[in-house]
A and B are shown apart, each in its own frame.
Chain A
Amino acid sequence: MFLFLLQAIAWIFRPPFRPARILNQLYFIGFKTTFVVTLTAIFTGMVLALQGYYSLRKFGAEGLLGSAVALGMIRELGPVLGSLMVTARSGSAMTAEIGIMRITEQIDAMETMAVNPIQYLIAPKIVAGVMAVPLLVAIFDIVGIFGGYLVGVKLLGVSSGSFWSSIESEVGWSDVYGGFLKSISFGLIVTWVCCYKGFYTEMSAEGLGKATTQGVVLSSVLILVWDYFLTSVLL
């Protein structure tokens, strides 16, 4: 599986380059996942504010709700939940698409035409994934913080001024940088694992189903495991 990743990365830098395919994949992985990411983000921010308010109120620290929501979103929930949404929506679709191409001999057909299927199919997806996931995570963070604002300020009565000023004073560039680094690596994990599972699927409908499930589950688990290691390094 690791060799597959190395091959795909190597092909990214070898001609012929196909920018149109990268743009196409950016649309598929990025734009088409925006709605589900936005939906998830707003409710995540809302529930984080709800839970955070009642915990902070015990210490009279409701004023810090803004920074609690923002740090939770930017450091962890944005990258992890955003990437999990991409895995569920785009990762499974990638595995299915490539798997069907394998089963119906479309990948073999490509090879017989001396077109490398890893360069043509996989490399653009990896480039697009690494570009799209950080952008989606940024949307997740912004929408999630807004969701937290809606619940914290409008619903629970936290001061708007203290909500935003706590974010300004507590959230630093290192937090943003850490979230960005996580989202890039998670984008790589999703596209790598899901493409690998589709590329080497068993030649049956059951095999494709298994590959799709494995792609999503393995991507999700690797995201959580890698998140722990990255967090321990960044903190």
Chain B
Amino acid sequence: MITMRGVEKGFGQQEVLRGVDLEIPPGQLTTIIGPSGEGKSVLLKHMIGLLKPDRGEVWVDGVEISRLRGPSLDKVRKRFAMLFQSAALFDSMNVFDNVAFPLREKRLASESKVPRMVNDMLERVGLGEMGHKFPAELSGGMKKRAGLARALVVGPEIILFDEPTTGLDPLMARTIHNLIRSMHQVFGFTAIMVSHQVPDIFPISDWVAMLKHGKIIAMARSRDFQGLTDPVVREFVLAGEMPGPSSVEGPGQS
């Protein structure tokens, strides 16, 4: 469904993507992992045309989108939704209006149907009583869930998740991961998630790909990925699975 061929991208003197070749399986949840600062978010933004490659192509269902602009690009984007790292909720609107925003702006539902659709989605993500709150009044986890509700309410075919659990405590991160997985199972969209939260992503992903030095160096089914013998992959996966540092010995202790 989504194919990237030879995608290169740089910012000034810094090369970020150096020839990415990637094929995203339709209807599956694919997670792209890699160390921080490798360009995972940059890669994700190419898929929805927020960034244009310096070289290479980005195909979405047979349409090459990297040169599209205006109404042609909007037509492709209507199939997408995206959950940003900070949720990117609109500050001036409460949660209800944030979730209703794409329905109203894209004229996907009459105003009389909007409350039912929005409240139904807020219930699904566990924010049933929070519609009147503004983003500044929400915790990090609530913002992510509100962002997820806004992404899901339009019934997209493809959802992009940009580090959805960054900044959350482990319990909330697991809640968000499980919510993404359950929504994926219910709605069946194609999901592409970028994350560095190994090993938490393995149980919820169908496919895992690794971005390193600006290229995809490995891609496999989630159950097979942890068994890959590539040393770079193994180092990253094992680093994520290692326990934390032992407690520091105090005076008088041995």
Contacts and interface: CB of A to CB of B under 8 A. Distances in A.
Interface stretch (B22-30, B79-87, B219-227): B79-87
Given A104-B86, A108-B84, A113 B101 contact: yes
B78 interface: yes
A114 B85 contact: no
B84 A109 contact: yes
Contact of B77 (A16, A101, A104, A113): A113
Interface in B100-117: 101-102, 105-107
Contacts of B64: none
B95 interface: no
B235 interface: no
Contact of A114 (B88, B90, B106): B106
Contacts of A116: 74
B48 interface: yes
The size class of the interface chain B forms with chain A is 20 to 34
A112 B86 contact: no
Contact of B78 (A101, A104, A106, A114): A114
B105 A113 contact: yes
B137 interface: no
B101 to A, nearest CB: 7
Interface string A180-215: 000000000000000000000000000000000000
A113 B106 contact: yes
A198 B144 CA distance: 25
B47 to A, nearest CB: 10
Contacts of B88: 104-106, 108-109
A111 to B, nearest CB: 6
Interface in A107-163: 108-109, 111-116, 120
B91 interface: yes
Contacts of A111: 50, 77
A108 B50 contact: yes
A77 interface: no
A104 B101 CA distance: 17
B91 A112 contact: no
Interface in B51-85: 74-75, 77-78, 80-82, 84-85
A109 B82 contact: yes
Given A112-B48, A114-B74, A105 B85 contact: yes
A14 to B, nearest CB: 11
A100 interface: yes
Contact of B81 (A16, A100, A112, A120): A112
Central interface residue in A100, A101, A111, A113, by most chain B CB within 10 Å: A113
Contacts of A105: 84-86, 88
A106 B50 CA distance: 13
A90 B84 CA distance: 29
Interface of B: 45, 48, 50, 74-75, 77-78, 80-82, 84-86, 88-91, 101-102, 105-107, 154
21 contacts: A16-B105, A16-B107, A104-B86, A104-B91, A105-B86, A105-B88, A106-B89, A108-B45, A108-B84, A109-B82, A111-B50, A111-B77, A112-B50, A112-B80, A112-B81, A112-B82, A113-B101, A113-B106, A114-B75, A114-B77, A114-B106
